Structure 1
Amino acid sequence: MEKREHFSSRLGFILISAGCAIGLGNVWRFPYITGKYGGAAFVLIYLVFLVILGLPIMVMEFSVGRASQKSAARSFHVLEPSGTKWHITGYLAIAGNYLLMMFYTTVGGWMLYYVYKMICGEFVGTTPEEVGGIFNSMLGDPAAMTLWMLITVLICFGICSLGLQKGVERITKVMMSFLLIILIILCIRSVTLDGAGEGIRFYLIPDFGKILENGLGEVIFAAMGQAFFTLSLGIGAMAIFGSYISKEHRLLGESMNICLLDTLIALMAGLVIFPACFAFGVDPGEGPGLVFVTLPNIFNQMVGGQIFGTLFFIFMSFAAMSTIIAVFENILSFSMDLWGWERKKAVLINGILIIVLSMPCVLGFNVLSGITPLGAGSTIQDLEDFIVSNNLLPIGSLLYLLFCTSKRGWGWKNFIKEADAGKGPKFPQWSRFYVSCILPLIILFILVMGYWQKFFA
């Protein structure tokens, strides 16, 4: 059994945990729903939910990881009272990490493919229809999709194979630093475009009328959902990093830093997208279309667009790969904790496994496009995403929450003792009733509403 590694620095821990939380949802989902639900007014509601929903659960995941010194595969075994079955949560977490990577590796591949296309100048001089055609022809080509997924998996497992400090921490620090620098450059370019002012006003000046237009209930649920899903909580993806840190700092302060960084990136992504869309009279549409069709069209019309387009997709690749590396690290630690494998062996076996497991998603857009598991127009990726986002994340978060607050679990006293070890802000004692009784109901509401919206709305 290898001795457990630790981060060499606090900054490494914060950047890697934030890298795990900062995913593609921040970049394409956050700006879109912000626009739909009234710009800055929505952001304010979202921030409230980030503090009251995401923050407590993140502290709990970190606490379980740090107290047990294990990944989610073994942490519940170490901390649960004897005779209880909390360790079943660990198997849900393992399933969640593998399932997430079954489709996320494909999307990471798309980003790298677009970096290549931008560098080669393939978008230069194309019409909006031709840009859309490039995206669709990529989806329809199983060989290209497989190749770029393979490149993504090999790069990210290659980084993990170097070890926690020499690989994951060192390279994620560099990636996250570049991600921030590129984002700042893109923000400056976007807000200085002719006609960008309208987009900035739309994004940063609250319009509470928009909230009433969409219905307060719908806006609150959208903000709640975004705050909940943005941090990838509930599948032990954060708990692992808790197991790699010392007890020098209290966990509330660390979690606040990560939430701030996650939100800053999401807000800045909006500052890239909205001014550019308004400057060129484009509707900031939903989902992948925004990133893969709308934005390449905008870069086409922009002076120096090829350079800014390349930078944008490098930024997107880093956002995707920081998450993939973090989850791969989690997957490797499962193998090392459960079977005592050495890192190299865990990398080799899991690398092959992830490649095989990623194939249904890759082929779901072409060879297997006839499979529509969630109704007409849906793909295998939609099903995998639904299982993770609408089931494993909320159920896992609920179990972490109950484990840390229930007398039959690890319990409030043990949780508080661990969360408050070190220096920094303490986890508020007065919040015990809220996190024990009200927060579980909010998570159940998110779980039920997710099903309602998917199948009945």
Structure 2
Amino acid sequence: MKKQRESFKSQWGFILACIGSSVGMGNIWMFSTRVSSYGGGSFLIPYFIFVALVGFTGVIGEMSFGRATRSGPVDAFGIACERKGKRKYGEALGMIPVLGAIAMAIGYTVVMGWILKYAVGTFTGKTLAPKGVEEFSGAFGSMASAFGNNGWQIAALILCMGILMLGVVSGIEKANKFMMPLFFGLFVILAVYVAFQPGAAEGYKYIFRIDPKALADPVTWIFALGQAFFSLSVAGNGTLIYGSYLSDEENIPAAAARVAFFDTLAAILAALVIIPAMATTGAKLDQGGPGLLFIFLPHLIQSMPGGPVIAMIFFVAVLLAGLTSLINLYEAPIATVQEKLHLGRVQACAVIAVIGAVISVVIQGIVSDWMDVLSIYICPLGAGLAGIMFFWLCGKDYVEEQINKGREKPFTKWFVPVCKYLYIPVCFLVLILGIALGGIG
């Protein structure tokens, strides 16, 4: 008999929570740089193709796997392997995506501490106080050093855990219903503002140009694959756990399509803000990652008309995107602690919060290497293992039954073969390419 499990109250609450889990720093500080570096529209074409592939295979699969088992990764993997009499092996493998989720959440907590400090600093004036790129770089370097930002990252963790302690409906669902529309609204405001700045048109030309040489370059396709794969948060943990809170009446393929669409829209919006803004000053967007967000963009915003207000809108929007992703990352380990240690939600959140607080403070000086290891090895491995469990071990009939719950018409008969013979190999291809190239996400 299936155990009682808290579930999302509304369809859009679930969809917005999944969008929130997908929309994060990769949409903001990496996507724009890659669009700029790999030929604008020449990068967008393979990116859209891979978003469609991952969205209509991995995202649907993980949502359905979670709903079918009403469990987190450990029990879900265990249930899949139980069909072969190997439940304990499945549960052991299920710990890989769970440990990956908490490790990624811990690294993300460090980043959220930076974002929270900068967001608050836009209201106090501290964020835009440095003069010149060197001073901005020095301020960020000081903050991002070992034990350089303890208070702010603990505050970010407390904010996240406060939401999670309220539960799925009152915490996760309500928070995402508020934060995700606000995020999109703020970025639309920024995009409109930037559109009216002199020189912005050059940025749009840069985004949508087609460079045949870049389109023919395998490197463009490799990094487009990495961007799409990691942006959609397929890792055998977050999407799976949110799926476990979904009712049987919901149409998962339709929900996955909306998630993929809005995640892509968030990335495009960020590019429509950042690249034209850089173009207004003639600057070349060749710096991605934290440096773009905490050094070069604040320096650029400082010189723009209404810079302090623009900085407030921008960093509040970034804070919303980061917080929704952090909530999702912590949810899988919290649910696992609830399932395995039989603790209440508040107690489980407290256990994970203590672990997160201690380790995140310790790793501040090495967080970049920490996140690289996770994105290269653990995320694609977790996604591939979840795919094997669901599509190979659970069997075609079981998968099709789960996929078609809540649908008026059966989903395409090609779904299972494409997932088995294309999506799962792609997961391991992402792993291999990440190892070979030092990361593609």
The answer, yes or no, to whether TM exceeds 0.5 is yes
Q: In the superposition, relative to structure 1, how do residues 332 and 278 fare at CA in structure 2: closer, same or farther (>3 Å)?
A: same
Match of 1:341 in 2: 343
Distance 1:5 1:439 in 2: 30
Distance 1:256 1:312 in 2: 27
List aligned pairs for 1:370-381, cutoff 5 A.
380-381=366-367
Letter in 2 for 1:137: S
Match of 2:76 in 1: 75
Distance 2:231 2:146 in 1: 30
Match of 1:205 in 2: 209
Distance 2:60 2:237 in 1: 12
Instruction: After TM superposition, give the deviation of residue 206 of structure 1 in Å.
Output: 2.6
Instruction: Map Cα deviations across residues 208-251 of structure 1 (whole Å, 9 max, x no partner).
Output: 34435xxx111111111111111221231111111111112321
- Given that 1:198 and 1:275 are in contact with CA atoms closer than 8 Å, whether structure 2 keeps it comes out as yes
Instruction: After TM superposition, give the deviation of residue 73 of structure 1 in Å.
Output: 2.5
Match of 2:254 in 1: 253
Q: In the superposition, relative to structure 1, how do residues 306 and 2 fare at CA in structure 2: closer, same or farther (>3 Å)?
A: farther
Match of 2:165 in 1: 161
2:143 is the counterpart of 1:138: yes
Instruction: Map Cα deviations across residues 310-333 of structure 1 (whole Å, 9 max, x no partner).
Output: 110111111110011122222221
Match of 1:17 in 2: 18
Letter in 2 for 1:400: A
Match of 1:298 in 2: 300
Distance 2:297 2:375 in 1: 26
2:32 is the counterpart of 1:31: yes
Match of 2:434 in 1: 450
Distance 1:267 1:220 in 2: 18
Give the 3-state SS of the residue equivalent to 1:87 in structure 2.
helix
CA RMSD of aligned residues (A): 1.9
Match of 2:384 among 390, 394, 398: 398
- Given that 1:66 and 1:244 are in contact with CA atoms closer than 8 Å, whether structure 2 keeps it comes out as yes
Distance 2:425 2:169 in 1: 39
Q: Give % identity.
A: 27
Match of 2:396 among 398, 401, 412: 412
Match of 2:283 in 1: 282
Give the 3-state SS of the residue equivalent to 2:438 in structure 1.
helix
- Given that 1:69 and 1:244 are in contact with CA atoms closer than 8 Å, whether structure 2 keeps it comes out as yes
Q: In the superposition, relative to structure 1, how do residues 73 and 318 fare at CA in structure 2: closer, same or farther (>3 Å)?
A: same
Distance 1:196 1:169 in 2: 37
Instruction: Map Cα deviations across residues 92-121 of structure 1 (whole Å, 9 max, x no partner).
Output: 111111110121000011111111222122
Distance 1:440 1:233 in 2: 11
Letter in 1 for 2:390: C
Q: In the superposition, relative to structure 1, how do residues 337 and 28 fare at CA in structure 2: closer, same or farther (>3 Å)?
A: same
Match of 1:89 in 2: 93
- Given that 2:108 and 2:326 are in contact with CA atoms closer than 8 Å, whether structure 1 keeps it comes out as yes
Q: What TM-score, normalized by structure 2, do the two folds share?
A: 0.94
Instruction: After TM superposition, give the deviation of residue 69 of structure 1 in Å.
Output: 0.8
Structure 1 unaligned residues grouped into runs of 5+: 365-379
Match of 2:420 in 1: 436
Shifted more, 25-34 versus 353-362: the winner is 353-362
Match of 2:154 among 147, 150, 153: 150
Letter in 1 for 2:396: W
Match of 1:386 in 2: 372
Instruction: After TM superposition, give the deviation of residue 133 of structure 1 in Å.
Output: 2.0
Distance 2:430 2:154 in 1: 34
Instruction: Map Cα deviations across residues 410-441 of structure 1 (whole Å, 9 max, x no partner).
Output: 11211111011112674321243332223333
Shifted more, 293-302 versus 78-87: the winner is 78-87
Instruction: After TM superposition, give the deviation of residue 2 of structure 1 in Å.
Output: 9.1
2:359 is the counterpart of 1:357: yes
Match of 1:184 among 184, 188, 199: 188
Match of 1:172 in 2: 176
Match of 2:245 in 1: 244
Shifted more, 101-110 versus 278-287: the winner is 278-287
Letter in 2 for 1:390: I
Q: In the superposition, relative to structure 1, how do residues 385 and 141 fare at CA in structure 2: closer, same or farther (>3 Å)?
A: closer
Instruction: After TM superposition, give the deviation of residue 130 of structure 1 in Å.
Output: 1.8
Letter in 1 for 2:73: A
Match of 1:321 among 289, 304, 323: 323
Q: In the superposition, relative to structure 1, how do residues 148 and 423 fare at CA in structure 2: closer, same or farther (>3 Å)?
A: same
- Given that 2:146 and 2:362 are in contact with CA atoms closer than 8 Å, whether structure 1 keeps it comes out as no
Distance 2:265 2:157 in 1: 27
